[in-house]
Every structure is written in structure tokens, then in C-alpha cells.
Structure 1
Amino acid sequence: MTFILCIPTKDYLPVEVKTTNDLAEQILEELEYLKFGKNKLFSTNAISSCIKQACIYYRDAKSVNWRSSGLLYYYSFLNLAKAYLGGKKMVTSTELTTTKILHGITADPLQIITNLMDFEIKIYPPTQNNSINTFSKFYESVTKKRWPFTGNILIQIKEIVGFSYEISREFQSLFNISPCVIPVRSMIIDDGRSMWLDLLIPSSYDTVFQSQIINMPLDKKQFLELSHFEKEQWLLSHAQVTKSYLSDYVLKTHEINYTQDNREKVI
């Protein structure tokens, strides 16, 4: 399926006419069409601004380094959620442009955990202390049910990560997009003279993963083939034993030598 964007009006003339098979891009372009069309859903500047920011954040996320893209994807979805709430009259245009509407979700980056799946996220109720919390309010709007909790709640990554598999299966059924969720752990190794990036991947996924990384030369080694120093870094940082990694491969970038004078620049 393709989508062509061309909506010349007296207020807006597209810079380019685009055709795309990218599902996410089709959705964004449809939202842009609604934003500039005579559709009452997006008739306010506040909602249009949210849509514009969502599109910008998403497209930027696709083009930047993966270390930065996660936050941009988050802000894209946050702005889409705000636009949805505004379109459904769950919040007013004034509320969308003030500090009255909050994210409604926080996390402490300094949590002491030994497994990423135990990382906790705090979610706030739809309204609290005269403020509106976006994500729980979004839940109410989409499900048409009241938020089922009275106060703040804590959830762990392991309690929600399974939903990504369900969504992937829906994509395969509806759009014939094969799902593939690859568990990858990464760490920058620094031995005092050089540094490099290690990616720890289950052996059953390494071929698929490497096929998606075309601009980064990677050397593949089994965990037991690593140097004593490198194995020690992995074991200490994740509080694991060697047995835990016997079925894993490590994909390594080339080592970059540095001096104390240029170390920060290399990082």
C-alpha cells in the first residue's frame, strides 16, 4: 500500500509530494492532512502544534543514533496522546499549552537493580493536585473506562514487555510484517588504552541482528573467547556468572585507541 500526500490549500502548500510504503510515515502524513484540512478534530492551534511536534520527534528519532532515539520516540508518542485527548475534548486547548498537563509517568534512573527487567516506572492517576496526567488520561479516553487505581502505581519492565510480542503478532496478521524482538545488552569497554562497544546477543539471534546493522563492522566471538579483562567487565557489571553467558555471542566494534588528552573526545 502506498500513500501520496498532496493537499494544496490557501494556507498550506506542500514542499514535496511523497509516496511511501512505510506504515508509520503513512499515519503521520494522514495526521498532517487532517491538521491542515477542514476537520474539526484538529481545528485548534494547540492540537496542530502537538501533531507537528509528534511528526518532528518521530522523524528525528529514525535518523539519529540509537542512544538518542528512544527519548525522541517517547516525546513523539506523548504529543500524539495529547493531540488525541484534545481531539476527544478530554482536555481543553488552554490546558494543552500550559503546565497543567503533565506526562504522568516518572522513573528513577538511579534505581539499584541487577536485572533490567526489574526497572520500575511510576504512573500517576488521570488527575492529581489540580494537574492532568497524560498517559492515564489517555488510557481512559481509549478504553472508555475509568482508571482502575486510586493512587500512584509502580510497574516493572518485565510486567509490560510481553505486550510488544502481542503487538508484533498483530502487525504480522494485518500488514504481513514479521515480528522480531531481539534481546541485546550493550557495554562500552575501556581498558585504559583503548575502548570499544560490546553487544551481547543470544546465539539464536546474532545472524538476524547482524543483517540489520549494515554500517557498523562487527567481530563475533563466543563469550568464552573474550579476554579475561573483558569477561570480568561483563560479569561484574551484571552480577552474573560465566554459565549465564555460555549460549551468547559478543559482537565487538573495532577498538579505538586514545590518550588521556583526547579520551573525552573519543567517548
Structure 2
Amino acid sequence: MSDIAAEFDFSMRSHGIALEMQQSNYLNNRICRPLVSAQATLVLESANADLLWDQLRRVAYVPGCSKRLAGTNWPDPQVVADELSAFISQAEVYYRAGEETSGPSAALQYYYSLLNLAKAELLLWRPDAIINQKLTHGVSAVHATGNFEDWRVKPQRGGVFPLLYEKRMGVPSSHLPGEINPDQLFSRCLESGMEYIQVRGKTLQAVPLYQTIVTDGTYSWSHLLIEGYGVIQQNKPSWDLVREIFEELPPLHHGNPWQVFALSSRLSLDSFALLIPCDGKYVRSGDGIHIGNLRLPEWEEELAARLRPMLGHPHGYFDGTLTVSLSDSEFVGLTSDLARYLSVYLVSSLIRYRPSALDLRLNPDQAWYLAAFTRQAALPALQSAANEILDNEFVFLDRVRG
């Protein structure tokens, strides 16, 4: 690979675009990859719960197969292993019950599944916060009426959710507002984005991204193609964070971005923006190692860390998601994965305490949307939880990009 790259005759470089370079050569030196850790496992099939539960059961029941479990610091390792097994076992029971339940009522089972998976995740992070502790949910819901506009989710000081937020975001949950309205939650769940827009008529607060690593034979760059980029530009704290890392360019800066990002030419790029880091990484190396992987692990580690307040796990055809700040004046992060967790909790609370809000006769549009959300959110919620528990992330590629 290094010998091939050394033969390229570039007269000019600009962010990975060799201006006098033939497109075929350029395309042979790029890596299309979800924005995840280098330990990710790419699965060439559609996302499915059975595979994820198979992997979680292996962690729970097969001794010595989990590096994360082995690395947990606790006086009695067997206690940690037993607790982990119990949490995962209970989580699967609830999830399977949710699969057998129709409509939004399934949210009650799905939430308790996610709650047990959250405890398993936190156990591997801070066993002292879980073992022998009587934990509350860490969140409450307000729904004085059956109307969408009147509902609120209130993060608490202690309990599971504040710990989960701190573990995933790296900052205390005290950064969150005292109340979060349902539009701030459901608008971040792309899997039911079409239904959300149909019912609420509001803009989504999360956008999908595609990533590719490109090289000119000397440097490499991680390029992001962001759909619906105007959503980020309209939220100043989010836009400021992105511009600290990237330069913004039109997608056609690439000439043929569909080929570069391995996308169908039927996809319109009218609402897309191309984000390119200001500095590249040197890849010329005599041993060929760096030119071979384009320093992909370093790019992904760096970008995942810097975009952490906004970045959600990849799912479906996308390489990741970015969510905007909850505030227009300062950055307050709530990723798609955490918003989905809170959304499922909210629907489960309505099921318990205000079922009329989910009755198709009384609130047809609202009930229809929440039923669609519950069905579609279950799998991505399971996938993001499993990725935090397993040693590596599972990324499902239901269609292989070119």
C-alpha cells in the first residue's frame, strides 16, 4: 500500500483532495467506517435482537469471556459476576415480554429491560454504586393532563439515570435542566423521525452522519457528511462546538461525494454539509502500517472524544448521529441514546398512570405516534445498551455500501 501511495504524483493537497489526482486512485485509498471505537464488530446483516441477546448471555454466563467484567475492581469478583448475570437475565425477560405486547403498552416492559441493562452497564463502571444499593429510577414524569404539551421528564439528583448520564457523557447530570419537555426527547429519536414530524410538525433535533477516511498518500483526514446540517447551524452552542473541530464545505467539494462516501446516487445532498478537520494526520511510513489503516483508530478515538456531548451510536444505514444542545445559550448535551431511554421511561409512566393519553379513541394521533415510537425504539435502545456492556460495539450493516 505504501509503495502505491508513494507513486502518486500530487501537485497540490487540500483536505485530502488531490486536485490533479484521478478519481479511481482516490477512491482506492479511503475507508468508509461508522464513527465508533476501533474494537467495533461490523455485522453484515440487519440489526436483530436475537444476536444481541446471544452476545449478552455469553457475557453473563460464560466465565472469563468479558474483559470489562475481568477488569472490574471489587473485593469479591464473583459477586459482580452474579449481579451482572441477574441484571442481563431480567433484562431479557422484560424485553421478550415487550415483543409480545402490542401498542405503547410494550414501553413498560421495554423500560424495565433498559433499566436492568443500565444497572449492568453501571456495575462494570462503578460496582460500589450498584452492589447492595437500593437505587431509584433517577427520573420522574409529570403528566397533569393527557396532552403532549403538558408532559415533562424531571431528572433526579440520585438513582440510575444520573449515574448513566455521567458515565456516558463524562459530566454530572446536574448540567441538565430541571424539566425536559417531550419534544426535546422524541425529536432526537431518528428511528421514528418521520412519524414524529407527521404528528408534531416540528423539526428533528438529531441529524445522521456518514464518515469516510481519505488520504492523498501523505496525510489522512476524517470527513463527515451531515444530513440536515441546518439544524446544527440554528443552535449556536452546537454550531460553535462543531466549528472548533471542523471546517464546513459543500458536499460537491469532493466532485463525487456519492462515491467517496459509498452512497447511492439517488440520494439528494441538498441539505448536507461536508465537515473536514483543519489538520490531517501524517501517514507516510516505511513499514506501510499507517498508510494501510490511514490512522483510523486515532481518528475515531479523537473524534468520538471531541464530539462526545453530541454523538450517538450508529444504527441502520448511518455511521452515527449528532444531537443539538438542549439550550440555545450554552451547550447542554443529551444524545439520541439517552433521549431514547428517557422517552421510553415517559411512555411507560403514561401507561401506568395516565393510560387515556394512549387511547386511540381519545387521542388518536398521539396514541398512534407513541405506539410507532415504542415499536421502533426498542431495537436501537437495546443495541446502544449492549454496546456499552460488551467488549466491543456491534454495528449492523443491513446494506453493504460500495
Relative to the length of structure 2, the TM-score reads 0.34
Which structure ranks higher in relative contact order (CA pairs < 8 Å, sequence separation ≥ 6)?
A: 2
